Amino acid sequence: MDDRLALRIRLFHESGQVRPEVAAFVTDELDALAAEGHTVTEDTAALLTSHLMMALNRLLDGAPLEQFPTDEQVAAELAGHPEAVARARAVSVRARRELGATLPDSEINFLGLHLAVLLDRRPTP
């Protein structure tokens, strides 16, 4: 993970927008992607990072996450990205196990879209 993306996470945490355990969870997920050779930078993963942190924090705060009217379109787009869908579901399982935060299907789908963009980029050598 590059310094700018690490700064994003730190700012979310230090400003009180996300809990420390959420920042740590998202950092671990991004580090795992980077360890697999994916390019995890502010340019490639900023939206993924912010979206996941805010969704997890809202869940831990007991705030409902809305269903989106575009769920069917998002699911159709994800049909061509089975690896991203599997990764999003795995992240959701870990979030439930480690944080007690259960992501609804619509959030898993949006996470899948973010991951599809990241995973479609060529891994670093």
Q: What is the pLDDT tens value at each position of the chain, 125 positions in all?
A: 999 999 999 999 999 999 999 999 999 999 999 999 999 999 999 999 999 999 999 999 998 766 666 667 777 778 889 999 999 999 999 999 999 999 988 889 889 999 999 988 765 55
- Rounded-to-integer distance, Cα 28 and Cα 22, Å: 10
- Rounded-to-integer distance, Cα 62 and Cα 30, Å: 25
